[in-house]
Amino acid sequence: MLMSVTLRQDLFAMDQLMEEGELDVAMGVASETKQTAKRKAEKEYFGKRKSSSSPGLLERRRRILALVDADARYLHRLSSYLQEHLNVSFDICEFTSPEQLLVFRMQAEPLIVVISGELYPALCGTEQEMFSDVIVLEDPNAQEAVSCEEEHGTGKVTRLNKFSSSERVVNAILDHCLSCSEVIRVGDKAPQGGLQILGVYSPLTRCLQSSFAATLGKYLSKRSKVLYLTLEPYPSLKDVRELEAEHDITDFMYYFECYPAKTPLYIEKVKVNLAGMDTIPPAKNFLTLRDISGETWQKVFEWIARTTEYAYVILDLHENLTAFPELLSMCDRLFTICGKEAPAAHRLGLYREMLFASGLEEVWYRTIRFRLPHFSNLPTDINGLQHSYFAKHVIKAYKQSTYRVPVKPAFQEVIA
């Protein structure tokens, strides 16, 4: 490596002083020269790392999430939770001190650092360049809050209560990933059998359609990963109505169209757990969902099939959507609840006429139609429905659909 002009001048001055017998002064120049050279080397090294476009280096940087906490047990619990629930391609590294993290930094640069509040000041006090994205887990019992954001440049720093839920930590990490200029991969292990879209729709009202869809999703979630989507304008299930979420499916669809590269991260942020299966909360205003085109829905399902681990998408359908006919055609199997009364039969007949008039005969032939008995005192929550007599009829209808090949009218007798 070529020696800088300043460093050559310092060394020349040191030689001259030693020849003149000024040993103490020469030693001082040598000490200062050593520190200058060290700082310059470190600056050049980290500058090259930061500006490097090497695929291998950037790949390593995308994969590293650093956890720093003096409590090894807390560190291990947090790491285990993140490995299970954070579906992002991070290598999670644990450190019990900032010094360990700084030594590790010489080999690879973490994308995000999650550090306890009591250790954060020590990290800020180093002469090295601050990490670009830091999440500080503050102890609420600490007497003084440390503020280092302004002192250490443009890095993004988020502060959370150390004893807040692990879900909040996951959301904070996803927020940092979404704001990052780099594209970060999520788990992309598509299921071996491919994605199956199971639609549930009935032209009847108050027929337990949503209860059937949710119970079917709960049943299938015991064997594979399920994404349950309700497209009702006004959700009827108690579990769905009580979901507390900042974002809903209209936000997801907007993000999918505007920022497709970061959609895998966004779905990780907006999805919530619903009785053991994933769901994207329903639209707060169904008018914003109504006019989404069938082409956009098709792209969403193709993306889900290609880049996620979902084996099933359960669609709780409603005819208020402009893309309703297209959504029916996208379903691999459809389940329709029928009734014995004359009004119910009339509604079903009109629905059939609509399909045939629209050139959707194959939808009718792929539909499993069945009747449900009258139920009294059904549970109002999904877990309760799963353990009720109602679930037996749901499972029966699903099993009927698996061994029947729904392509010919002869296979479409009503299940009693």
Task: Please say whether the beta carbons of 231 and 315 come within 8 A.
Answer: yes
Q: Retrieve residue 161's tokens.
A: 């209560």
Average pLDDT of the chain to the nearest whole number: 80
Tell me: pLDDT of 262 over 70.
yes
Tell me: pLDDT of 44 over 60.
no
Tell me: pLDDT of 160 over 80.
yes
* Mean pLDDT of the region 25-52: 49
User: Would you place residue 277 in the very low, low, confident or very high pLDDT band (cuts 50, 70, 90)?
Assistant: very high
CB count within 10 Å of CB 379 equals 16
* Mean pLDDT of the region 192-203: 90
Q: What is the C-alpha separation between 205 and 207, in angstroms, rounded?
A: 5
Across 7-21, 122-136, 187-201, 202-216, least confident range? 7-21
Tell me: pLDDT of 137 over 80.
yes
**Ranges 108-122, 203-217, 236-250, 366-380, most confident:** 203-217
**What are the beta bridge partners of residue 137?**
116, 160
In the prediction, which pLDDT does 89 show?
74
User: Would you place residue 296 in the very low, low, confident or very high pLDDT band (cuts 50, 70, 90)?
Assistant: very high
Q: What is the C-alpha separation between 171 and 66, in angstroms, rounded?
A: 16
CB count within 10 Å of CB 388 equals 17
- Residue found under tokens 């005969």: 361
In the prediction, which pLDDT does 191 show?
59
User: At CB < 8 A and 24+ separation, what contacts does 151-159 make?
Assistant: 151/124, 152/124, 153/129, 155/130, 155/131, 156/132, 158/134, 159/117, 159/135
Task: Please say whether the beta carbons of 318 and 324 come within 8 A.
Answer: yes
Q: What is the C-alpha separation between 309 and 60, in angstroms, rounded?
A: 24
User: Would you place residue 342 in the very low, low, confident or very high pLDDT band (cuts 50, 70, 90)?
Assistant: very high
Q: Which of 308, 317, 311 is nearest to 335 (CA)?
A: 317
Across 72-86, 126-140, 325-339, least confident range? 126-140
Tell me: pLDDT of 409 over 60.
no
User: Would you place residue 49 in the very low, low, confident or very high pLDDT band (cuts 50, 70, 90)?
Assistant: very low
User: Would you place residue 181 in the very low, low, confident or very high pLDDT band (cuts 50, 70, 90)?
Assistant: low
In the prediction, which pLDDT does 210 show?
96
**Ranges 87-96, 120-129, 362-371, 407-416, most confident:** 362-371
**What are the beta bridge partners of residue 199?**
315, 334
Q: Which of 301, 204, 205, 212 is nearest to 252 (CA)?
A: 301
* Mean pLDDT of the region 102-117: 89
Higher pLDDT, 60 or 259: 259
In the prediction, which pLDDT does 197 show?
96
Distances (CA, A) of 318 to 167, 193, 238: 32, 27, 18
Q: Which of 397, 398, 401 is nearest to 416 (CA)?
A: 397
In the prediction, which pLDDT does 349 show?
96
Tell me: pLDDT of 148 over 70.
no
Q: What is the C-alpha separation between 250 and 142, in angstroms, rounded?
A: 40
Strands across the sheet containing 64-68: 91-95, 64-68, 112-116, 133-138, 156-161
Tell me: pLDDT of 219 over 70.
yes
Q: Are strands 272-274 and 277-279 parallel, antiparallel or unpaired?
A: antiparallel
User: Would you place residue 263 in the very low, low, confident or very high pLDDT band (cuts 50, 70, 90)?
Assistant: confident
Show the domains of the chain with their CATH numbers.
Answer: 58-179 (3.40.50.2300), 196-411 (3.40.50.300)
Q: What is the C-alpha separation between 227 and 35, in angstroms, rounded?
A: 58
DSSP, collapsed to helix, strand or coil, labels residue 348 as helix
Tell me: pLDDT of 41 over 80.
no
DSSP, collapsed to helix, strand or coil, labels residue 92 as strand
In the prediction, which pLDDT does 337 show?
96
The amino acid present at 323, given as its one-letter code, is A
